[in-house]
Amino acid sequence: MDTIIKKFHAVSNALGIKWAPFHVPLSRRLQTLAVAAWMCVVLFGEVACVLLFIRLIYSSYWWLALLYGFWMINDIDICNKGGRKVEWVRNWSWWRYYRDYFPIKLVKTTELDPSKNYIFACFPHGVLCSGASGAFATNALDFYKIFPGMTCNLIALGSHFKVPFLRELGLAFGSCASSQESLLYLLDKKKHQGKCVVLFVGGAAEALDSHPGEYKVTLSRRKGFIRIAMKSGAPIVPVFSFGETDVFCPANNPQGSLLRKFQEKVKQITGISPIFPFGRGIFQYSFGVLPLRSPINTVVGAPMEVDRNIEPTDEEVDAVHAEFTKRLIDLFESQKSKYVKNHENIHLIIT
């Protein structure tokens, strides 16, 4: 048996495959399993749920599909009306194993006022928003304890809430649609207090620039969140996830390359960036779609107060945008020495 194992490792080494050790703590196995299950949901969840719904229609359980379809149509606007958070789902042990896999940490730099609502402007998007999603879509990082009196809602594309079955998981996380109606509803002080609306400002475009060791964010042309802040009077909080870009190694796609043109065309049509998440496998470290074990530190900066203005002019929006850009850079520069290797040579690039 030992001879077979030695030959197996010899062949693997010749192929450049680095296998995970046989003897590792059960907790690490469970962490890998949690991340693998999450990747299955992310990569195949929408297609699987659509196929399941179609299969139900053409089965003896067609009436269940019909009932769910009618209910979903009547419920379709819930993502614009505050969502439907389920704390039981956010408290699953699954998320604690997911957190510890990287690990992910949520860092507070200042207190937040529970009588106010805030816009959390998160950067960078990375390939799958691994850090901020763990911090704000689950209770694994104790958001409620770190920020007493506050609650949070992760903002996602409205199309995700049109997928049968899977939409229920997104809603249970507390996710809501990225429409103006949804954001203003959540930030309305007459309806809510202590609400943190979590936006990935760079979105799918920023995901295309996610590469290890680089911090390139899409912000120059992103001013919609500034208008929302001004219309609602909600302070904007810069949030930066150090290490987010290090957990996957996407293919090189410089501007003008054939791959980049293809990705941008698909993004233009679907709103989703087609990025293959190169990482590691379940039993080996050399290739696969699982993220790498690399720490992510999601740092919540100080809020920037914004005066309420129902009809802001372009010049007024530009002025607030310029101030926020400065504060984001300041947050990055003041915190990078704690979380970034070779931080003297790493700077935030804004496009």
pLDDT in tens, 176-229: 999 999 999 999 999 999 999 999 999 878 888 888 989 999 999 999 999 999
Cβ proximity of 298 and 241 under 8 Å: yes
pTM: 0.92
pLDDT exceeds cutoff 90 at 268? no
3-state secondary structure 17-43: CCECCCCCCHHHHHHHHHHHHHHHHHH
What strands lie across the sheet with 296-300, from one edge to the other?
104-108, 296-300, 236-242, 118-123, 195-200, 151-156, 176-177
Domains of the chain, start order:
25-350 (3.40.1130)
Average pLDDT over residues 97-121: 97
CB atoms within 10 A of CB 50: 15
52's enclosing H/E stretch is helix 26-57
Cβ proximity of 184 and 231 under 8 Å: yes
Instruction: Give the start-end residues of each E strand in 178-235.
Output: 195-200, 216-217
How confident is the model at residue 12, as a pLDDT? 55
Lowest-pLDDT range, 6-15, 83-92, 99-108?
A: 6-15
Lowest-pLDDT range, 71-75, 250-254, 323-327, 335-339?
A: 250-254
pLDDT in tens, 132-191: 999 999 999 999 999 999 999 999 999 999 999 999 999 999 999 999 999 999 999 999
Using alpha carbons, select from 156, 194, 201 the residue that is nearest to residue 174.
156
C-alpha–C-alpha distance, residues 300 and 278, integer Å: 28
How confident is the model at residue 144, as a pLDDT? 95
Cβ proximity of 307 and 280 under 8 Å: no
How confident is the model at residue 11, as a pLDDT? 53
Cβ proximity of 151 and 69 under 8 Å: no
- 149 is written with which tokens? 């009196």
How confident is the model at residue 218, as a pLDDT? 93
Q: How far is CA 152 from the centre of its chain?
A: 13
What's the pLDDT band for 285 if we cut at 50, 70, 90? confident
What's the pLDDT band for 15 if we cut at 50, 70, 90? low
pLDDT exceeds cutoff 90 at 256? no
What's the pLDDT band for 13 if we cut at 50, 70, 90? low
How high does pLDDT run on average in the chain? Answer: 91
How confident is the model at residue 5, as a pLDDT? 47
How confident is the model at residue 10, as a pLDDT? 53
Percentage of the chain beyond pLDDT 90 is: 74
Q: Give the relative orientation of helices 224-232 and 314-339 as an angle to the nearest 10 degrees.
A: 110
pLDDT in tens, 45-89: 999 999 999 999 999 999 999 999 999 999 999 999 999 999 999
How far from 344 is each of 191, 216, 298, 308, 339, CA to CA, in Å? 45, 16, 20, 38, 12
How confident is the model at residue 9, as a pLDDT? 52
pLDDT exceeds cutoff 90 at 298? yes
